[in-house]
Structures are given as structure tokens and as C-alpha cells.
């Protein structure tokens, strides 16, 4: 098979040229980074699980009318997506204090927030993704006011939907990150949800025990990292019964041996 043209390589994913204009293939790696890539490692099988988890969530969001870049999953590690102009802003939605919010404002981790907070960070690794406000976004023209209204509305809808989805499987959605992109219909631009939604970019705690079931296990060296991703997939009903984890990972191993 002809080698596909690589468009972009990020920390956890690679984008390749898609089969048709306006499409891309999004490949999920096992690589993990934390603290602005100062800590690096691999989480075996993560790419397979994140591909599957993100497919599940984006498909569910489409059913409630949230437009997304997801078209279909093509194999264990790849999905076909719509090409977008990525808005250079990371949207963080918080329901419970944790991470940088707890550190910055001295609020004890685990404190339920009286209202949901939306924060914006400028997507720039060299600058360490600094926290920004609407003023910076307007001043530097990263998105229009109308686009930011759409983004905030969609972020709240996604949060409400995901809080319910995770609560139903005994998980608290503490906080998570979204990215949005712009697509053009002639002269008319619209905003759709892009990137991925997976335990890489969410804080997911067991409702009863508060056990962390997300990338914080890697960030904080808590152990059982692979197991946490598998547990999320399992609770979402994405693993076949029985020898589930092994089946997923074995399949992946065979693919690698065949050089795909
Ligand atoms: N997050 C992310 N990518 C980033 C920064 C944050 O996916 O570059 C996610 C992170 O997993 C968490 C939420 O956004 O679910 C809030 O992260 P926070 O600002 O607390 O930063 P952290 O403590 O992870 O550095």
C-alpha cells in the first residue's frame, strides 16, 4: 500500500491525509505526555482504547445534535474525520476542583463547584498553554464572538450529556478538555467539535471510592494506568465479555507484526 502523507504529528495522535478531499485519518498512539511534555511514556493499548472510547462519545453526541468531526472508525487505531481549521484554544470545563484550578486558587481537590466553570487556554506548547480570557481571544482574533458563543453553548451541552453518561456508570466527570474546529460551506464558517474525548483529556473518578480512572494515574505515577483506561472502556460497554482486554491488545499485537 502506498505510504500515506502525514499531515501532522502531535503528542498522542498522528493525522494523515484522508481518502477524499476534506477528510483526514486520525491515528491514536500509545504515547503519553504530561506537564507540558516534560514527562513522557507509553501506556500500552491506550491508542486502541481511546479510539474506541472517543468514537463512542462522538457518536453519542451526534445523536443529540452536537456537530463533530467524526465520520467513522476505520480500524483499531484509526478514525476517519472531517478536516477542520483548529481553533487554537483548549476549552476546559470543570465540575469539581482539581489539577491546575486547585493549585492556582488553593481550592481543595475534590470540592464540588457551585457552578460549572469554562476556562480557555491558548494552544501553544512553547508557551505551556497559558490561561487566557475572552479579551485575549477577541484581541488576537483567534475566534469571533459568535464562534465563542457557539463554543461555550456546545461545551455546556457536551458537559451535561457526559456528566449523565458517566454518572450512569458510576463515574464522576471532574473536568475535561475540548477542542473545536471551523469548517467552511462556501463563505459560511461553522464550528464543530474536533480532537478526541478520552481518559487522556478528562478527569474521571469512581463515584464511590473517588479512585482516579484517567491520565492522572500516569501523571502522578499511581500505577495501574492501562487498567484505568480499560475500566472506562469496560464500564461504557466497549469491551466484549470475558477475555476483553487481552483480546483488544492481542489483536493490536498481530496488526503490528503484520506491519500495519
Ligand atoms: N487537559 C488536557 N490537555 C492539556 C491540559 C489539560 O487534556 O493540555 C485536561 C486535563 O486532562 C484535565 C483538564 O483538562 O482533565 C483540566 O486540566 P488542568 O488545567 O487541571 O491541568 P493539569 O492539572 O492537567 O495540568
Average pLDDT over residues 108-126: 98
What is the residue with the minimal CA distance to atom 2 of ligand 1? Answer: 201
CA pair distance 203, 192, nearest whole angstrom: 23
242: which DSSP letter? S
What distances in angstroms separate CA 192 from CA 88, 142, 197, one per listed residue?
Answer: 14, 15, 14
- CA of 175 from ligand 1 middle (Å) equals 8
Percent of the chain residues past pLDDT 70, beyond the cut: 92
Query: Best substitution site from 12, 97, 99 to test ligand 1's pocket, by max atoms within 8 Å of Cβ?
Result: 99
Parallel/antiparallel/unpaired status of strands 85-86 and 13-17: unpaired
Are the CB atoms for 12 and 31 separated by under 8 Å? yes
Give the residue, 254 or 164, on which the prediction is more confident: 164
pLDDT-derived band of residue 82, with 50, 70 and 90 as boundaries? very high
Q: What is the pLDDT of residues 211-226, one digit of tens each?
A: 999 999 999 999 999 9
Best probe residue, ligand 1, of 163, 171, 175, 205 (max atoms within 8 Å of C-beta):
175
CB 26 within 8 A of CB 179: no
By the 8 A CB rule, do 228 and 199 touch?
A: yes
Taking CB atoms within 8 Å and a gap of at least 24, the contacts of 180-183 are 180/84, 180/86, 180/87, 180/89, 180/91, 180/151, 180/154, 181/69, 181/84, 181/85, 181/86, 181/87, 182/84, 182/85, 182/87, 182/147, 183/82, 183/83, 183/84, 183/85
* pLDDT single digits (tens) 241-253: 654 455 555 545 5
Does 100 sit in the ligand 1 pocket, CB within 6 Å? yes
| pLDDT recorded at residue 1 | 54
* 215 CA to centre of own chain: 11
Q: What is the pLDDT of residues 49-79, one digit of tens each?
A: 999 999 999 999 999 999 999 999 999 999 9
Question: Is 259 a residue whose pLDDT tops 50?
Answer: no
Read off the pLDDT band of 240 (50, 70, 90): confident
Q: Per-residue pLDDT for 93 more than 70? A: yes
Is residue 49 left, alpha or beta, with left meaning phi > 0 and alpha meaning psi from -120 to 50? alpha
Q: Domains in the chain and their CATH numbers?
A: 6-84+229-242 (3.30.200.20), 85-206 (3.30.470.20)
Question: 96 pLDDT exceeds 60?
Answer: yes
Mean per-residue pLDDT for 183-195? Answer: 97
- How far is ligand 1, taken at its centre, from the CA of residue 176, in Å? 7
Mean pLDDT value across the chain: 94
Amino acid at each position: 500500500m502506498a505510504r500515506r502523507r502525514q499531515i501532522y504529528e502531535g503528542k498522542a495522535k498522528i493525522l494523515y491525509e484522508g481518502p477524499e478531499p476534506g477528510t483526514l485519518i486520525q491515528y491514536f498512539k500509545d504515547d503519553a505526555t504530561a506537564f507540558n511534555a516534560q514527562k513522557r511514556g507509553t501506556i500500552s493499548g491506550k491508542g486502541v482504547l481511546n479510539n474506541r472510547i472517543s468514537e463512542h462519545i462522538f457518536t453519542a453526541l451526534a445523536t443529540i445534535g452536537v456537530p463533530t468531526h467524526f465520520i467513522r472508525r476505520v480500524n483499531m487505531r484509526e478514525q476517519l474525520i472531517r478536516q477542520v481549521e483548529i481553533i487554537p484554544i483548549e476549552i476546559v470545563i470543570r465540575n469539581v476542583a482539581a489539577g491546575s484550578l486547585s493549585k492556582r486558587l488553593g481550592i481543595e481537590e475534590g470540592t464540588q463547584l457551585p457552578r460549572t466553570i469554562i476556562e480557555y487556554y491558548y494552544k501553544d506548547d512553547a508557551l505551556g498553554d497559558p490561561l487566557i480570557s475572552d479579551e485575549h481571544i477577541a484581541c488576537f482574533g483567534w475566534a469571533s464572538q459568535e464562534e465563542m458563543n457557539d463554543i461555550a453553548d456546545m461545551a455546556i451541552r457536551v458537559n451535561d450529556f457526559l456528566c449523565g453518561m458517566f454518572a450512569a456508570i458510576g463515574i464522576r466527570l471532574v473536568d475535561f478538555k475540548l477542542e473545536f474546529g471551523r469548517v467552511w460551506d462556501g463563505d459560511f464558517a461553522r464550528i464543530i467539535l474536533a480532537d478526541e474525548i478520552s481518559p487522556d483529556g478528562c478527569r474521571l473518578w469512581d463515584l464511590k471510592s473517588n479512585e482516579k480512572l484517567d491520565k492522572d494515574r500516569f501523571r502522578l505515577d499511581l500505577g495501574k494506568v492501562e487498567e484505568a483506561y480499560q475500566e472506562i472502556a469496560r464500564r461504557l460497554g466497549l469491551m466484549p465479555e470475558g477475555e476483553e482486554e487481552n483480546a483488544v491488545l492481542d489483536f493490536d499485537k498481530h496488526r503490528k507484526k503484520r506491519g500495519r
